[in-house]
Structure 1
Amino acid sequence: MANGLMSIGTFSRASLLSIKALRAYHAAGILVPAEVDPATGYRAYLATQLADAAVLRRLRALDLPLSDVGEILRARDPDRTRKILTGHGELLQERLARIAQAVDEIHSSIEHPASLTPVYVRDEPAIQIVEYRGQVREADFPSFLDTAYAALYALLGRLGVRPNGPSGALYPPVVDDVEEVVAYVPIAAEAQLPDDRGPMALGEVPAATVAVLTHHGGYDSIADTYQLLGRWVAEHAVSADLQVREAYVISPADHDDPERYRTDICWPLDRWPSTTEGKTR
C-alpha cells in the first residue's frame, strides 16, 4: 500500500501467520489491525506490527495460551515475560534464554533494518523448470522439500539433464494452514519426461520484477528475514499477486553447516518507485 499500511494478505506473507490466524488474533484483541475499513471490513496493519507478530508466532509455537501471549505483548516487560514462561512449565526453561534473545533480535532488526543485508530489486526472466507440487503444512516443509529434491535430481540424472541454476521453491502470496508448495530445479531447455515420472512435471517460473533479500543461515530464523522484506515492500512498493520465490543459493546439498546456507527470498512486485532505498542489480 502506498501509505505504508500492509493489507492482511501482505502482512500474512511477511509475518508467516495465516489470514485465519490473524483474524482470530484480532477477535481476541491480541494483534489488532491499525485500520479496519468500515465499509468493507478489510484489515490493514502497520509495518511496525511485524515485531509483535513475530513474537506472537514464536510464543504460539510453544503452545503458550493466548491469554499469556496477550499479556506478554501488552506488558513488553522482560521480567514479566520470564515469569510467564517459567510458569508455563519446566520444558520451557531450556528455551527461555533463546526466546528472550530472539525477541530482542526481532525488535532490534525492525528498528535497525539497515544493519542487515539490504533489499534490492531485480528483473527475473522466465525460466524452464522440472517441478514437484504438494499440499503441505508449514511443519512438513522440510520433509516435503527433501523428498521433492531427491526425486527431481534423480529424474534429471536418469535423463542426463544438467540443472541450470540453484534449486528453488514457490509459495503462495498468502499464508494458509495448508499451502501448495512447488519445489523445482531450473533446466536450460525443455526435456521429455518419462511416463514413470510420478508427481513431477515440466513447468515455468514466470518473468517478474522482484524485491530480494538474502537470508544467511539455517531455516529456523527465515521468518525474521521475511518480515524485514515484507516491511520494505509495504513501505516502498506494491506487492504483486504472484508466488513468492525462494532460491537456495547454498543449500544442505552444498554444505553441512547451516550457518553457510544462503537463500534468496524474492517477493514479486506490481510496481515500485525509481527512488526507493533499494538498489537494482
Structure 2
Amino acid sequence: MGESLLTIGAFARRSRLSQKALRLYDRLGLLVPAEVDQDSGYRRYAAGQLDDARLIVMLRRLDMPLADVGQVLAAEDRAAVLDAYWARAERRFAGQRQLAGHLSLRLSGKEEAYSMYEIKTRDVPEQIVLTEQRHVRQSELPTWIPAAWRRLNQAAKEHGGQSGYDFVVYFGEVSDDGDGPAEVCVPIASSTGVPEGAAARVEPAHREAYTRVRKADIGQPQMQSAYEAVEQWIGGQGLKIAGACREVACVDDYDAAGPDDEVYDVVFVISA
C-alpha cells in the first residue's frame, strides 16, 4: 500500500507553514506537492516532505532569501551551502555594523571622525588612457573591474605599454540602486597620440586631493567615510570639486598586498 497523503491543511499545520506559503513554494519549485488533483487543483503532500518544509521554516528565520533557500534544498551537501551563505551574511552584517557606526558619528555632528584620514594633493600630467566603460551596480564591481583591467593591460602592450597606475572613474552613483556609469582606465606610453581602433581618450592634466585606504577597507563603509573625508577637506580649504570621483591603484601587485596594506587612493579632481 502506498504512503497516505496529507491534505494541504494538515500539511500546513504539521509543517508550521501557511497554506499561502505552501502555494508560493509550489509555484517557485521549492516544495512541490506529491499530488495535485487535475480537476480541482487540490494539493496533497507526502509525510516525507515535512523535513524539507520544516527546513524552509528555519532557513527563513535566518532571513534567507527564497533563491538561496532553493540552493540549499537542491544541494547534495546542504550544510556546505548553508555555511557559505552564513559566511556571506556575517560579512554583510559586519559591513552594516560599521556603516551604522559611521552614520551615528555623522548624524551626531562629530566631524572629528574624519581626522583619521590624511588628505594630500598632487598634480597629474596629461595622460592617454585605454578605457572600458559600462553601467554597473555595486555587486558587479568585484568581477567587472579586475576583468576590465586584465583586458586593458593586455591591450596596453600593443600601444607602448602601461605608463601609470590603473584607475576607475565613477560618473554616477554605483550601488544596488544606481548603475553609474563607471570607467576603468589604464594609462599608456603612446608616442603617437590616441591610438586608432582602440577605446582610448586623453585624460587632461589636473590637480587631485586624495587619501589612501587599506585593502581590508575595499567595498566596506570605510570607503564612503574616506570619500566624505576628502570632500570635507576640500570644502575646508576653500577649493572646489572639478571632476568625477575616482579610485586610483597605488600598488604594483594588488593580489600580493595584505589586508592592512594601502592599495587605493580615493580621489577628487579639484580646482581653486
Q: CA deviation at 1:101?
A: 5.1
Distance 2:122 2:219 in 1: 26
Q: 1:112 to 1:141 in 2, by over 3 A?
A: same
Q: How far 1:121 sits from its partner (Å)?
A: 2.2
SS of the equivalent of 2:152 reads helix
Q: Report the CA distance between 1:99 and its aligned residue.
A: 4.2
**Aligned mates of 1:113, 1:242 — CA distance in 2:** 22
Match of 1:211 in 2: 209
Q: Could you tell me whether the CA contact under 8 Å between 2:162 and 2:186 is conserved in 1?
A: yes
The structure whose Rg is larger is 2
Q: If the length of structure 1 is used for normalisation, what is the TM-score?
A: 0.52
Distance 1:254-1:163 versus aligned 2 partners, 3 A rule: farther
Number of equivalent positions: 175
1-structure distance, mates of 2:165, 2:150 = 14
1:144-223 mapped onto 2 (5 Å cutoff) = 144-157=144-157, 159=158, 161-172=160-171, 174-175=172-173, 177-190=178-191, 195=197, 200-218=198-216, 219-221=218-220, 222-223=223-224
Identity rate, percent: 17
**Which structure carries more relative contact order (alpha carbon 8 Å, separation 6+)?**
1
SS of the residue corresponding to residue 123 of structure 1 reads: strand
Deviations 1:31-51 (A, max 9, x none): xxxxxxxxxxxxxxxxxxxxx
How far apart are residue 233 of structure 1 and its match? 2.1
Matched-pair contact (CA < 8 Å) for 1:233–1:239: yes
| Cα distance, 1:190–1:169 mapped onto 2, change above 3 Å | farther
C-alpha contact (below 8 Å) 2:212/2:262 kept by paired residues: no
CA shift digits 1:216-240 (9 cap, x unpaired): 2231232221121122223323433
Whether 1:117 and 2:81 are equivalent positions in the alignment is no
How far does residue 263 in structure 1 lie from its aligned partner after superposition?
A: 0.9
Match of 2:3 in 1: none
Partner of 1:139: 139
Matched residue SS, 2:160 = coil
**Residue 110 (structure 1) shift:** 4.1
> Which runs of 5 or more structure 1 residues have no equivalent in the other structure?
1-62, 64-90, 272-281
CA distance in 2, matches of 1:201, 1:94: 37
Inter-CA distance 111–128: structure 2 relative to 1 (3 Å threshold): same
Cα distance in 2 for residues equivalent to 1:136 and 1:96 = 23
Q: What amino acid does structure 2 have at the position aligned with 1:156? A: A
Q: Is the 8 A contact 1:255 1:261 kept in 2?
A: no
Provide structure 2 residue ranges, at least 5 long, that are not aligned to the other structure: 1-62, 64-87
Shift of 1:247: 1.0
Q: State the Cα distance separating 1:249 from its structure 2 match.
A: 0.8
Deviations 1:195-233 (A, max 9, x none): 5xxxx5121221122211111223123222112112222
User: Root-mean-square deviation (CA), in Å?
Assistant: 3.2
CA distance in 2, matches of 1:270, 1:110: 23
Note closer, same or farther for the CA distance 1:99–1:241 as it changes in structure 2 (3 Å cut).
same
Contact 1:148–1:183 (Cα < 8 Å) also in 2: yes
